[in-house]
Amino acid sequence: MPEPMTPVSFPPAFLWGAATSAYQIEGAVREDGRTPSIWDTFSHTPGKTAGGEHGDIAVDHYHRYRDDVALMADLGLGAYRFSISWSRVQPTGRGPAVQRGLDFYRRLVDELLAKGIKPAVTLYHWDLPQELEDAGGWPERDTAYRFAEYAQIVGEALGDRVEQWITLNEPWCSAFLGYGSGVHAPGRTEPVATLRASHHLNLAHGLGATALRSVMPARNTVALSLNSSTVRPVSQDPADLAAARKIDDLANGIYHGPILHGAYPATLLTATEQLTDWSYVLDGDLAAINQPLDALGLNYYTPALVSATDAEQAGPRADGHGASEHSPWPAADDVLFHQTPGERTAMGWSIDPTGLHELIMRYTREAPGLPLYITENGAAYDDKPDSEGRVHDPERIAYLHGHLAAVRRAIADGADVRGYYLWSLLDNFEWAYGYEKRFGAVYVDYATLTRTPKSSAHWYAKAARTGTLPEVDEVF
Ligand code: IFM
């Protein structure tokens, strides 16, 4: 379907933001009482990240946050989504809080508010305190209770000044990449642990939401961010449709089933019955998980294309989630992932804004009346400064234009999308890819840590200021 005619204008209250996460930008990993998280351990384990890179310094946001907030204000951002490092706040993952750790976030939030930028806090963006992983990690039920305790601590400390709260970022990645394919921390490759971790992340979300609400003013909102996939079958053949159903259950239904509807999809339970009987779902868990949400965050980058396969074709998957001899997808050896068509970003992910429109409309149907935010969307490119030090990134501008136009089209089609957070404000540590993949609207010179807004940052700033998308070829 063609995109709407230009100019593409958004409702006046639409929130224009940018997002980051703690381990990807903060650095200062040994300061003010912080202890290692699973990402410190994983990135310092030989062979786990490109070039052995890690977040020890990252882009030094811990020390440069004032400048970074000033940069956001210059760009006219209305909102900033960032995550809290659990290991800074509760270094062992349990027990009393470290005030020096919380103070950093108090200062950051105050700086944002002083500049008129709305903070949106994500409690968990993949960086579990190492001590909790040593005790079993997300496959263990106790981790969900530890998360609720941590949520309460942060809610008490920041609930007076932060209105937008997100419990978890992309629990699929924590479970399936952390415990399935092992390309993310903690690097385990255990199919059953992947499903157990998923359930305990769901439980953590539910218990965390309840804990937050018990200590925060009622005006605050609680959401979570899912990297829900748009899963497409290669054909309408029943076997391919069944393959798409299975991956959709494992990518999406495993989270939105219990969270939005209070039940795991029956098709998921059947598809995984050879592996697990789900006996770790205890009485009362589904009710604890199925808390009312104030909003849902959707993170979108690219769709997935699948078909049925036979055992000979099965093997490492071209599913865009990193190379591993272990599939992230439990009980899915009968599914083949295909290259999606179209141009690609530096991640090798195909560019397809129709997938974002489809996703928004799906959740508009799945959860009628629930406000939606695009809590991440963006693209990595091989950006380089020119001879005058400017960084031109027309591909990213085209990517943002296409995806924002798809959001606008969804709003016109009846979706209640309230805002958009560009991933990412700054170039940063892209997990197992190290610093090689640049997602930032702002270029970071890793030798000097100097920040230079790319042309896409200026393009986005104009969109944020005017509420209308500039043309893709406007010169900045
Ligand atoms: O950098 C990540 C982010 O941490 C979570 N969502 C996807 C981004 C790009 O891979």
Please tell me the number of Cα atoms within 13 Å of 399 on its side-chain side: 28
Distance (Å) from CA 21 to ligand 1 centroid:
9
Nearest residue (by CA) to ligand 1, atom 10, is 430
Token pair in block for residue 334: 């009968």
Report whether 46 contacts 85 (CB < 8 A). Answer: no
Catalytic residue among 26, 53, 111, 170: 170
**Per-residue confidence (pLDDT) for residue 318, from 0 to 100:** 56
Between the CA of residue 169 and those of 71, 84, 172, 173, 298, what are the distances in Å? Answer: 24, 11, 9, 9, 10
Distance (Å) from CA 5 to ligand 1 centroid:
31
For 416-463, the three-class secondary structure string (H helix, E strand, C coil) is CEEEEEEECCECCCCHHHCCCCECCCEEECCCCCCEEECHHHHHHHHH
Write down the residue that tokens 């429109």 correspond to. 357
Distance (Å) from CA 430 to ligand 1 centroid:
7
Parallel/antiparallel/unpaired status of strands 118-124 and 79-83? parallel
Angle (CA) 309-314-316 rounded to 5° is 135
Token pair in block for residue 61: 């946001």
Report whether 417 contacts 372 (CB < 8 A). Answer: yes
Catalytic residue among 376, 388, 436, 471: 376
Nearest residue (by CA) to ligand 1, atom 9, is 430
Token pair in block for residue 69: 């907030």
Question: DSSP string of 173-203?
Answer: IIIIITTTS-SSTT----HHHHHHHHHHHHH
**Per-residue confidence (pLDDT) for residue 198, from 0 to 100:** 98
**Per-residue confidence (pLDDT) for residue 311, from 0 to 100:** 54
Each residue of 41-67: b (16+ CB within 10 Å) or e?
bbbeeeebbeeebbbebbbbbbebbee
The span from the CA of 377 to the CA of 297, in Å, is 11
The span from the CA of 319 to the CA of 399, in Å, is 20
**Per-residue confidence (pLDDT) for residue 5, from 0 to 100:** 53
The span from the CA of 208 to the CA of 84, in Å, is 14
For 378, phi and psi rounded to 5 degrees?
A: 170, -170
Write down the residue that tokens 């942060």 correspond to. 154
Q: Could you list the pLDDT tens digit for every one of the 476 residues in the chain? A: 555 556 899 999 999 999 999 999 999 999 999 999 999 999 999 999 999 999 999 999 999 999 999 999 999 999 999 999 999 999 999 999 999 999 999 999 999 999 999 999 999 999 999 999 999 999 999 999 999 999 999 999 999 999 999 999 999 999 999 999 999 999 999 999 999 999 999 999 999 999 999 999 999 999 999 998 899 999 999 999 999 999 999 999 999 999 999 999 999 999 999 999 999 999 999 999 999 999 999 999 999 999 998 656 655 555 777 778 999 999 999 999 999 999 999 999 999 999 999 999 999 999 999 999 999 999 999 999 999 999 999 999 999 999 999 999 999 999 999 999 999 999 999 999 999 999 999 999 999 999 999 999 999 999 999 999 999 999 88
Go through the domains of the chain in sequence order and give each one's CATH number.
15-466 (3.20.20.80)
Distance (Å) from CA 95 to ligand 1 centroid:
30
- Residue 170 bears catalytic tag: yes
**Per-residue confidence (pLDDT) for residue 6, from 0 to 100:** 65
The span from the CA of 359 to the CA of 378, in Å, is 16
The span from the CA of 12 to the CA of 33, in Å, is 43
CB of 393 sitting under 6 A from ligand 1: no
**Per-residue confidence (pLDDT) for residue 59, from 0 to 100:** 99
- Residue 358 bears catalytic tag: no
